[in-house]
Chains A and B, each alone.
Chain A
Amino acid sequence: MPDSADPLVLNAMLYASGELDASAALAFEERLADDQSARDALAQAVQLSLILSGRPQRPDSAYRDRVRDAVSRVSWWAWLCKPRLRRGPTFAWVGLGSAAAVLFMFLSEPTPVPTFEPDVIVAKTAESVTPPVVAPVEQVAVQTEPMEVVPETNSDMASMWEEMSNTDRLQRVHDEEQRRRQARSKERYRPGDGDSSSGRVLGNSSRGER
């Protein structure tokens, strides 16, 4: 315990009684941050003064129950997080967790929406539209042209597809497929008129007229 001759104790008495000026109080507080002898001096000064105040020397012990409750409540979390001397199991758990996270990422990745390049679509539609019997190449080409907008070149078509959302693309492919099916069924019913009607059914008569 510090001696009374120690200026630290006298300073602590002044601090405890609030008689230090602001700068000196601040300096003493800074010292309290890491100087255990200053802390002990302050505790001693206060302990001595309490005899005169008549106040209890110790706090109400009810706080101990609250501390016990709080410490036991977090103990499972503290157990999980506390640093351990043996690093092995910790690393094993970290590795296992990482593997689980990667697996989860793969499993939960949404199914990619198919994106069709215009040229691929043209080729595919050409295949699907080409009748089993040999058909003129020009006719097949005409059948694959989109209905509403007629792009001039492949690059125009590509840019147009680029601007469309995936949903629009799918919708468009779906519509075209529907039209082709209708055209094919009409061809079946009118086999004799197949050459001239297929272009009209697909709505590309304008191109044929040009």
Chain B
Amino acid sequence: MFSCVRVLLMSNLTDAELLARFRAGDECALEVLFERHEPPLYHFLLGMLRNHHQAEDALQETFIKALENCAGVQPPRFKSWLFTVGYREAMLIKRRQKRDPQHGLDTAGEQADDLLGPDELVLNGEQAQRLRQLLEQLPTAQREVIRARIYEGKRFREIAATQGCPLNTTLARMHDGLKRLRSLWEQQNA
């Protein structure tokens, strides 16, 4: 298996250097490229497809196609190249799904994920309790938006209408609240 030490040592290398090593047959370089580009690419694909299984499939295909055809890509543009390949892959899946609504879905009842809502099947009771506690530490405006969106299932436009503020203000509160919540969560887990 890959040496963690080598991966750590190589994590300071640029994409250009890693690509050169990968082309020379160094699989450790590929591991570092995965570590570096996988999270944003996966989140991007998840945002486009709104389905975890499809996003994982698209991620796999994206890396395969991008690495197979990376010979002509300028190393500084490798990230952009990855996202371009990922975008095409996601659009391909979306078009297939439009033609055949069951395509890529394991079960007939599987629907698109609600990315901004809690998954009760995944989130266990302890985690849910911790999130509620962290939520209390947020400013009231942010907390109210998050509560309305997550626990009451309201749409952003409805929340904006209820709170009597512009849609963008509601979205900004949601964004800042989530950012703060994430930071608190990571501090606790650290």
Q: Which residues on the A side are within 8 Å of B128 (C-beta)?
A: 54
> How far apart sit A60 and B67, CA to CA, in the bound complex (Å)?
19
- Among A7, A14, A39, A70, chain B packs the most CB atoms within 10 A around the CB of A39
Q: Which residues on the A side are within 8 Å of B87 (C-beta)?
A: 32-33, 39
Q: Which residues on the A side are within 8 Å of B64 (C-beta)?
A: 66-67, 70-71
Q: Which residues on the A side are within 8 Å of B71 (C-beta)?
A: 78, 82-83
Are B115 and A53 in touch, CB under 8 angstroms? yes
Offer 13 A-B interface pairs, CB within 8 angstroms, sorted by A. Answer: A4-B175, A12-B47, A13-B156, A13-B175, A18-B50, A29-B91, A39-B83, A46-B44, A49-B178, A52-B181, A54-B122, A63-B60, A64-B34
> Which residue of the partner chain A has the closest CB to B170?
A10
> Which residue of the partner chain B has the closest CB to A59?
B56
Residues of A within 8 A of B (CB): 4-5, 7, 9-10, 12-19, 29, 32-34, 36, 39-40, 42-55, 57-60, 63-64, 66-68, 70-71, 74, 78, 82-83
Distance of B49 from chain A, by nearest CB (Å) = 10
Q: Which residues on the A side are within 8 Å of B115 (C-beta)?
A: 16-17, 46, 49-50, 53
Contact A47 to B39, CB < 8 A, known contacts A60-B56, A68-B30: yes
Interface of B is mostly: helix
> How far apart sit A19 and B31, CA to CA, in the bound complex (Å)?
36
**B112 sits at the interface (CB 8 A):** yes
> Which residue of the partner chain A has the closest CB to B77?
A36
Are A54 and B123 in touch, CB under 8 angstroms? yes
Are A83 and B72 in touch, CB under 8 angstroms? yes
- The digit string for B146-161, where 1 denotes a CB below 8 A from any CB of A, is 1000100001110000
Which of B68, B172, B178 lies in contact with A52, CB distance below 8 A?
B178
Which of B48, B127, B146 lies in contact with A42, CB distance below 8 A?
B48
> How far apart sit A10 and B146, CA to CA, in the bound complex (Å)?
15
Which of B34, B84, B116, B124 lies in contact with A49, CB distance below 8 A?
B116
Q: Which residues on the B side are within 8 Å of A54 (C-beta)?
A: 118-119, 122-124, 127-128
Within 44-72 of B, Cβ neighbours of A (below 8 Å) are at 44, 46-48, 50, 52, 55-56, 59-60, 63-64, 67-68, 71-72
> How far apart sit A46 and B182, CA to CA, in the bound complex (Å)?
12
Contact A59 to B55, CB < 8 A, known contacts A42-B47, A47-B39: yes
Q: Which residues on the A side are within 8 Å of B83 (C-beta)?
A: 36, 39
Residues of B within 8 A of A (CB): 27, 30-31, 34, 38-44, 46-48, 50, 52, 55-56, 59-60, 63-64, 67-68, 71-72, 79-80, 83-84, 87, 91, 112-119, 122-124, 127-128, 131, 146, 150, 155-157, 168, 171-172, 174-176, 178-179, 181-182, 185
> How far apart sit A7 and B168, CA to CA, in the bound complex (Å)?
8
> How far apart sit A48 and B47, CA to CA, in the bound complex (Å)?
11
Are B42 and A16 in touch, CB under 8 angstroms? no
> Which residue of the partner chain B has the closest CB to A60?
B56
> How far apart sit A17 and B112, CA to CA, in the bound complex (Å)?
10
Distance of A15 from chain B, by nearest CB (Å) = 7
- Among A9, A15, A43, A68, chain B packs the most CB atoms within 10 A around the CB of A43
Are A74 and B119 in touch, CB under 8 angstroms? no
> Which residue of the partner chain B has the closest CB to A72?
B27
